[in-house]
Amino acid sequence: MLNFQTSGESHGPALVGIVTGLPAGVPIEAEFIDHEMWRRQQGYGRGGRMTIEQDRAELLSGVRHKLSLGSPISFMIANRDHKNWQEIMKAGECALLETRQVTAPRPGHADLPGAIKYHHRDMRNVLERASARETAARVAAGAIFKQFLALFNIYIYSQVIAIGAVSCQGREVDLSNWELLQEDLKASAVHCADPAATQAMIAAIDAARLEGESLGGCFEVGAVGVPPGLGSYVSWDTKLDAALAALLMSIPAIKAAEIGDGVLNAKLTGSQVHDEIFHDTKHGIYRRTNRAGGLEGGVSNGETVWARGYMKPIPTLYKPLHSVDTRMWEETRASVERSDICAVPAAAVVAEAMMAFGIARAFLEKFSGDHVEQVWNCYDSYRKYMKKVWQWEKI
């Protein structure tokens, strides 16, 4: 079973990740991992932390001569800002502990419920791990999953479609145009393919900064080239749409997720929603629409798998909200940590990592093997079956 875990605190020495269950023989380029982490640090509205950290992943195990070994892959991402927090974050006794405690929880953050759960008087014990800094390790792991999926012509994309009240129509994406989308997104400071919306989003972020506010938004994330048959309808815990929704909801500040046009579809009639099935000798079985997001009954149907995530505004505000100081039990203003104004573009990159994991795990559940050539043999046999029995020409 493909899996991964992360460890580390925001201002600790490093973030650590471990990937298990990846077959041997997968080409792993460290430069690609670093580039993906660089992408996560971009986006208009990011905070000062991004000028400090220049994330690089040090591969510690599981990769030799640029190939996965089949054993656990571990990596470390050093936190450059740790040098400014060594006394506060050290594992030993801290002389500043009493004077530097965080005791005024931020509304909307894990500070208060986390402190209650783990009996932490100093809420830095919560916020350091609950920080979105942890997602750098997710992106590093996601880069490994992306490199695996690319061997089978499966590619991951994302695009921002809303920041605050500014929104635009997302571009429909499939194998024929996903590379063009990547090129167009490079020209946008907010990872949006619509130039007019990009400028309006930037203006909204500037206005929020002046007001001491923060902004959320919406992104679309998807996978092109996914074959039919990933996931299953036979049990609740095998449905791929459920797994992908959970993965998106695990990203910090994501408060809603939909598969395809899930919310819009709830308002329409069946004939306006369901993606009709067609056939001809050129295309075989095909669809003209993909409102279902490439998933029916919890199973991939051969169309682009896509979903949307909705991100709330970041809870750290430079004009802090009302809170309570739990040392004195007096009303006060919430603690202020260095933060972004808007991180929707970064969240979209994190969502790519989670989508890559979900698709890669489902792919290996169906096409298993200890070495990538064994996986290829299983997949190739399935492709021949799909073309012969179901006249499916896209895989």
Domain spans of the chain, in order of start: 3-389
**R_g of the chain computed on alpha carbons:** 22
pLDDT tens, 215-266? 999 999 999 999 999 999 999 999 999 999 999 999 999 999 999 999 999 9
User: Torsions phi, psi of 358, nearest 5?
Assistant: -60, -45
Residue 127 amino acid letter: L
Q: Which helix (H) or strand (E) covers residue 35, if one does?
A: helix 30-40
Question: With contact defined as beta carbons under 8 Å apart, do 316 and 333 qualify?
Answer: no
8 A C-beta contact, residue 257 and residue 267: no
Question: Which fold would CATH assign to domain 3-389?
Answer: Chorismate synthase, AroC fold (3.60.150)
Model's pTM, two decimal places? 0.95
How far is residue 395 from each of residues 261, 359, 365, 384, measured CA to CA in Å? 24, 15, 18, 9
Question: In 3-state terms, what secondary structure has residue 388?
Answer: helix
The tens digit of pLDDT for each residue in 14-56 reads 999 999 999 999 999 999 999 999 999 999 988 765 566 789 9
At 313-345, the pLDDT tens digits run 988 887 888 999 999 999 999 987 767 899 999
Which residue, among 223, 241, 221, has the nearest Cα to 307 in the 3D structure? 221
Sorted by sequence, the CB contacts under 8 Å of residue 67 that are 6+ apart come out as 24, 25, 26, 27, 28
- Helices 344-366, 240-249: axis angle to 10 degrees equals 150
d(CA 121, CA 346) in angstroms, rounded, equals 31
**Euclidean distance between CA atoms 30 and 73, whole angstroms:** 12
